[in-house]
Structure 1
Amino acid sequence: VLISLLLLILILTCIYFWNYIRVCYYASKIPGPPAYPIIGNAIFLLGLSHQEFTHAILKIAEDYQQNLGRIWFGPIPAIGASNPDIVQELLTNENVLEKAYLMKKAWNPVLGKSILTSEVPEWKHHRSIIIRGFTPIILKSYFKIFVEKINILIQKLDLELNKETPFDIFEYLSRTTLDSVCGSTMGVNINSHEDDGSSYFHAINSAIFFIIARLLNPIKLPSILYRFTRDYKMVSRSRDVTHEFTKKIISEKRKNKATVTNNKELMDIKAINSNLYKKPFLEYLMDFTENNSSFTEEQLRNETNFMIMAGYDTTALSLSYVLLHLAAYKDIQTKLYNEILEVVGDINVDLINVDDLPKLKYMEMVLKESMRLTPTIPLIVREPSQDIKIGNICL
C-alpha cells in the first residue's frame, strides 16, 4: 500500500512539473522583461505603491510593444493583451471565462467566495439568480432613496465649499454611494456619513486596499508568508467587521421579514418584470436561500458583501472621473448644466422624477464617454480552461 501511495505521489508530481515546464515553454515565446527563477519579475515590483506599480506595468508595455506581453508574478505567468481584436477574441471565448487564480487567492480569504471568483458552472448559476433582482423596473423603484442620499451629499459639500482648504471628494462620493447601495439593494440605512456608520465604511475600504496590495506584491501571495505580515492582521480585522455587519443585517431582516404567501412568485421573472416584486435585493436573495438548499448561508453572506462592494466603489470612482473631466473641460460642463436646467429647471432635488432621466441625452453621452476614457476596472483578468491559440502563440 505504501509503495502504491508513493508511486501515485510520484506520478502526480511528474504530471505537475511536466505541465509547469510546458507553461514556461509557451510563456517564453511571448515578449516580456527578463525574469528570475521562482521570483519571476517580483524584484522589480517589490515595495511599489499602487500608482508606482501601475507606472511600472505601463513602462513594460511601452518597452515591449506587442499584441501580447508577459510578466511573471513569482512562478505564475501573466499574459497581457492590448490589441482590441485579440481582447475581443479572448473575452468572447467560452474557454476563457474562469477567473484568474491570483484574484481568487487575494479575494476569497477577505470577502469570501462570491460571483466574482466562483468557478464557471457556479458563476453561471448564481448569475442567473442574482440578475433577477436588478431589472430596470426594480432599479427605478430605488430612485427616491438615491435622491435622499444625494441631498445629504449636497449638504456635506456645501459645508466644504465655504472653506479654503482642498478636500477629497472621492470619500464623500464613496459614503454616498455606499448609503445608496445599502438603502436600496439591502433595505438598510447605515448612515456612513456619521460616526455610527463609519466602521463598516472604513472596514470595506481597508479590505479592498489590502486585496489590491496583495495582488501587487508577489511575496505576499503565498499564504504561508502572508500570515506573518502586518497586512494579514489588518485584513483580518476588516474581514471580521464586514462579515459581522452582513450577518447582523441578514439577522435583522429575517426578524422583520413579512410572510410571503406565494414563494413560487419569487422565481417568476415575469412577476418581477411586471413590477409585482420590488423588495430589496437582499430580501429576494434571502427568500431564494430559504427555498433552495443548494444556496447556503455562507454564499448569501458572500454575495451580499460583494454586491455592496461592487455597487458603491465602482460608482463612486466613475463619478469622481466624471467630475474630473467636467473640471478639465469647462465648455462641456456648461453645456451639461444648461441641459439640466432645460429638462428639470432650477428646482429642488426632491422634485426630480425618474422619468426625467431619459431626457438628459447629453448627460448620458458625457457619462458614457467618461467611462470609456477612464474605466473603473483597469484590467479584466481571466484564466483559460484549455489551450487557446492566438496566431502562432499558445495560451
Structure 2
Amino acid sequence: MFWQLLLIAVAFWIVYLRWQRRRIRKIYTEISPGELQELPIIGHAHLLGGSHEDWMNLFKKAARIANNQGGLSSFWMGPKLYIVVTDPETVDVVLKSCMDKDDTTMRYCRTLTGNGSIFAAVPIWRPRRKILAPTFSMKNLNQFVEIFDQQSSLMTELLRPVAGEGDFSIWKYMNTYTFDSVCESALGVKMNSQQNSDHHFMKAFEKLSHLIARRIVTVWMHPDVIYKNLPIYKEFTKNRRLLFDFVDKLIQNKREELKNNNNQLYDQSGRRTFLEMMIMGSGGERGYTDLELREEVLVIILAGTDTSAVGASYASVLLSRFPNVQEKVYEELQDVFGDSDRPLTVQDLPNLKYLDAVMKETLRMYPPVPVTVREVHNDVVLPSGVTLVDGVSIFNNIWGIHRNPKYWGADADVFRPERFLDGPLKHPAQFIPFSYASRNCLGYNYAMMSMKTVIANLVRAYKVLPPKDMNPAQLKEPLRVKFNLMMKPVDDYILRLESRK
C-alpha cells in the first residue's frame, strides 16, 4: 500500500511539474534543438563530456545549428532550458532586457572576486557601474599608453634570446606583459613578472584562475559540500589569501598616502591609478570600503590580464599565418614610425587603422569569451515572435554571432581584416567580443589600446612566422580551440620570430 501511494504521489508531482513548466515546454517546441540528441531527464547534458576541446566543438556545433535556423536553437541541461542565440537582432533584445548573468558560472568566479562588478548581481552591479564608468574615460585611459609601451618594449627585448631559435609559445610573454601593465595601471605597482615569473602574486593568480576554471567544467565539484572537503580547496584558500593580503595592504597604504597628501596623490608622471580613481570617485573615506575596493581591483586584474593576453596572442598567431596581412601592418607602422625606435604614444594609436582592423577581426574570429549566459525573469518577446518566460536562460553564442553569414557574408570563416574598413556594420550587436548594452565590459578601450600597442611593438621588432614544420596547406585552416574559462588554442600559441634588424 505504501509503495502504491508513493508511486501515485510521484506521478502527481511529475504531472504538476510538467503543468507548471508548460510555457517553457512550449518554447522548446517552437525553437528546435536541431540535430542535438535529447535524452530523458538529463536532456542534452550527455553531450558535455570529453575534453575542453570537445566542449568548444559542441559550442561551435550549436552555433552552426542556430545560424541554420535563423539564429535560434535550444538545449536542455537537466530541467533547465537554454536558448542558443546567434542572431544580432535577438541579441540586442535579450541583452537589453535580461541583466542577470548565469549564477551557475558567476558564483564560482565570486569565490575569488566577491561582488566585483563583472560578476555581481544586478542590485550590486548597478550602483558600482555608475562609479566605475568615469574611471574608464578615454582621458584616464590615454595616460596608460606610456605604461603599455614601456612594458611591451621590455617584452620585445626579452624575446631576443628566442628569436631565430625555432618554435616557441608566445603566451608566457604576452601574459606577463598584460599582468605587469594591469598591475601598474590599476595599483601603481611594478610587479616585474616579465623578468620574474616566479613572483608569488603571479603564481597565486595563475593557480586560482586554473582552479576556478577546473571547477566550472567539473560538474561533480559544483556542490560546496563536496568542493570544500577536497584537498584542492585548501590550495584554493591558501592562494586566495595571498592575493587578498597583497591587495589589502596596497589599499591601506594608498589610503594613507592620499590622506597625507590631501587627496592629491600622483606619481612622477602625473598619472593616477585605477585604485586611486576608485577611492576618490566613490567618495574617498566615505566611499568604497576596503572590501569593495579589493573586489573591483581583483576583477580588473583578472579580466584585464587574460582578455588582453588572449587577444594579443591570437593576433600574433594569425599574423604568422597570413604574411600578406602582417606586411600591411608593417607598412602602416613604417608610415607612422619610419625606421625610428621612438616610443609609441597615445597620438599614434588613431593612425594605426589597419592594425585596429586586424585586432577587431582577430576578436571576431577568436573571441576570448566565446559564450555568455543570461537569466530570464520577465517575459521577453523575441523578433521571431517567440516569448521567453521566467526560468529560461539565454546562451549567447558569441562564436556563432561573429560567424553568422547573414551579417558577415559567405566568407564569415575567413580571416579578412578589411571587412572592418569596408563601412559600418549591419547591426551593432553583430560584433560583441566585450559583450553588449549596459552590462558590456568597461575595459573594452583599455584592452584594445593594450593589444594594439604590444602588437605594434612586436611587429616593429620581428617578423612573426608560423611553426617551422607546418604544412603550407595548414596555414589557412581554422585554429583548434578549447574552452577553459576563456577560449584558447589547443597548440598554445606556437610560432617563430625573426629579428627585423
TM normalised by structure 1 equals 0.82
The equivalent residue for 1:150 is: 152
d(CA) in 2 for partners of 1:180, 1:19 = 55
| C-alpha distance 87-178 of structure 1, shift in aligned 2 (>3 A) | same
Point out the structure with the larger helix share: 1
Give yes or no for the alignment of 1:346 onto 2:335: no
1:71 matches 2:75: yes
Structure 2 residue aligned with 1:298: 291
SS of structure 2 residue aligned to 1:333:
helix
Preserved contact between residue 131 and residue 282 of structure 2 (Cα < 8 Å): no
Q: How do 1:1-395 residues align onto structure 2 when only pairs under 5 Å count?
A: 21=21, 25-26=25-26, 28-29=28-29, 30-32=31-33, 33-37=37-41, 39-46=42-49, 48-62=50-64, 65-66=68-69, 67-93=71-97, 96-164=98-166, 166-195=167-196, 198-257=199-258, 259=260, 261=262, 278-288=271-281, 291=284, 293=286, 295-349=288-342, 351-390=343-382, 391-395=385-389
Counterpart CA distance in 2 for 1:202 and 1:76 is: 37
Could you say which structure has the higher strand fraction? 2
Q: Secondary structure at the match of 2:74?
A: strand
% of aligned pairs identical?
28
Offset of residue 22 of structure 1: 5.3
- How far the C-alpha of 1:309 sits from its partner, in A, is 1.1
* SS of residue matched to 1:354: coil
Cα distance in 2 between the residues matched to 1:111 and 1:168: 29
Q: Distance in 1 between matches of 2:150 and 2:262?
A: 31
Distance 1:19 1:176 in 2: 55
CA separation in 1, counterparts of 2:218 and 2:106?
Answer: 15
| Paired letter, 2:184 | G
Give the match's secondary structure for 2:199. helix
Separation in 2 of the partners of 1:294 and 1:43?
A: 48
Higher mean Cα deviation, 106-115 or 76-85? 76-85
Any gaps of 5 or more consecutive residues in structure 1?
A: 1-12, 267-276
Structure with more relative contact order (C-alpha pairs < 8 Å, separation 6 or more): 2
Relative to the length of structure 2, the TM-score reads 0.65
Query: Runs of 4+ in structure 1 displaced over 6 angstroms?
Result: 16-20
Aligned residues: 364
Alignment CA distance shift 1:312-1:23 (3 Å): farther
Instruction: For 1:210 and 1:180, locate their aligned partners in 2 and report how far apart those are by CA, in whole Å.
Output: 24
**Two-structure CA RMSD over aligned residues (Å):** 3.0
Per the alignment, do residues 148 and 392 of structure 1 end up closer, same or farther by CA in structure 2, a change over 3 Å counting? closer
Contact 1:110 1:235 in 2 (8 A): no
Kindly provide the amino acid, as one letter, of the partner of residue 317 in structure 2. L
Q: Which range is displaced more, 70-79 or 51-60?
A: 70-79
Of 316-325 and 200-209, more deviation after overlay is shown by 200-209
Partners in 2 of 1:371 and 1:107 — Cα distance? 23
Name the SS for the 2:191 alignment partner: coil
Between the aligned partners of 1:242 and 1:18, the Cα distance in structure 2 is 47
Provide, for residues 160-212 of structure 1, a one-character-per-residue CA deviation record: whole Å limited to 9, x for no partner. 11433x22211210100110111112211111123476322232233223333
Distance in 1, matches of 2:365 and 2:171, equals: 18
Shift of 1:149: 0.7
- Are the aligned partners of 1:226 and 1:232 in contact in 2 as well (CA < 8 Å)? yes
Secondary structure of residue in 2 paired with 1:118: coil
When residues 202 and 315 of structure 1 are mapped into structure 2, their CA distance, relative to the original with a 3 A threshold, is same
> Alpha-carbon deviation of 1:121?
3.2
| 2:160 match: secondary structure | helix
Q: State the distance in 2 between where 1:359 and 1:185 align.
A: 26
Q: Which sections of structure 2, spanning at least 5 residues, go unmatched?
A: 1-12, 390-501
* Contact in 1 for aligned 2:115/2:124 (Cα 8 Å): no
